[in-house]
Amino acid sequence: MSKSAISVSVFIATSLDGFIARPDGDVSWLDDYEPMGKGEDGGYGELFNAVDSMVMGRGTFEKVLTFDWSYGTKPITVMSKSLTEVPEKLKGSVRIVALSPLELLEKMEAEGCRHIYLDGGQVIQSFLREGLVDDMTLTVIPVLLGQGIPLFGHLEGDIKLNLLEARSWENGFTQSKYQVVK
């Protein structure tokens, strides 16, 4: 079975040195910045509206549970081999699966899913290693954190990318959208 019918998008922010969070998962450093502009979300809403579903790992899920829940309107799949219980208030919109990336995509494709938004460092790395990411939109925040949870990890070989779009904002954010070359 090919995974060609399901499209996998990454949309994430990192520090200039490639961290998505501080070592303890803290992302409050993102709050130090002015908005990109009035009503400007850097394309997040457009992607969120376009996808059928979100997929994230345990770490990201546990982090977003501490926020006001902002993923409301899309079903969420949490990839975890240790979590089993979905919090009561999220039953119906969140499920937990213990599958490999390819197994999950096959399952979701069979369920009719055509486009997913992938969030979280470990999950993104595992999909990248298996060649299952289609495009990545990276927003780079103008700070060096010097330590933290990295977006990217070890790969056995190069992954080539096509730059689709690059832009920047007055607040110092830059954003690049890449297509992963298969």
Does 142 sit near a second copy (CB under 8 A)?
yes
Cα within 13 Å of Cα(21), Cβ side? 14
Q: Which is nearer to a second copy, 17 or 41 (CB)?
A: 17
Neighbours of 92 (CB within 10 A): 8
Q: Build a one-symbol-per-residue string for 160-179: x at contacts with a second copy by CB under 8 A, - elsewhere.
A: xxxx--xxx---xxx-x-x-
Q: Does 138 bind a second copy (CB under 8 A)?
A: yes
Stretch that binds a second copy, among 15-23, 61-69, 71-79, 86-94 (CB under 8 A): 15-23
Choice from 3, 12, 18, 93 touching a second copy (CB under 8 A)? 18
Distance CA(30)–CA(172), nearest Å, equals: 12
Contact partners, residue 20, CB within 8 Å, separation at least 6: 12, 13, 14, 27, 120, 121, 148, 149, 150, 151
- Inter-CA distances, 151 with 2, 12, 72, 162, Å: 26, 9, 24, 19
Spatial distance between the Cα atoms of 48 and 125, rounded to a whole number of angstroms? 20
**For a second copy, which stretch binds (CB under 8 A), given 82-90, 95-103, 106-114, 150-158?**
150-158
Interaction between residue 158 and a second copy (CB under 8 A): yes
Number of residues that bind a second copy (CB under 8 A): 34
User: What residues make contact with a second copy under the rule CB under 8 A?
Assistant: 16-18, 29, 128, 138, 140, 142-147, 151-163, 166-168, 172-174, 176, 178
